[in-house]
Structure 1
Amino acid sequence: MARDPDTIEREIEQARAALATTLDQLGEKASPKRLADTAKTSVLAKLEDPKVKFPLIGAAVLVAALLVRKLFR
């Protein structure tokens, strides 16, 4: 059974609109700025964890102490 050309055109327009919306959503999710912001937030959250924060502070103090020792020898 043949379909009405107007119906076919409406369906094509609906499909185009849906595709455009999907592409916009994908573009937003893959945005470099958004990815960078997400990575930054993740790293900052990880650094707030005491299991990560205190060993990093200890390592920084050790490196600083070794540098001071090396400079004054």
Structure 2
Amino acid sequence: MGQVTIYLDDETESRLKASAKSKGVPVSRWIAELVREKTGTEWPEEVRQLAGAWPDFPDAETLRGEQAEDVRRESF
């Protein structure tokens, strides 16, 4: 398990401690959870549950089928 040292101003440290205390977790766990949240590589479950939530939104095949032909670009 890694160990990290960070330097915080007094106000930030107070806010950190108060937030960790309100969640009932140690400061190190609060910071670790924040790092996991900010460095996640997957969409949050709440966002994934929204898939298909808009019944009138066209599906991927419909969107791809409506693409027009590319326009020829001018040469330089």
Normalised-by-shorter TM-score class: 0.3 to 0.5
With structure 2 as the length reference, what TM-score do the two structures score? 0.35
Q: Which has the higher contact order (CA 8 A, sep 6+)?
A: 2
Give the greater-gyration-radius structure (CA): 1
With structure 1 as the length reference, what TM-score do the two structures score? 0.36
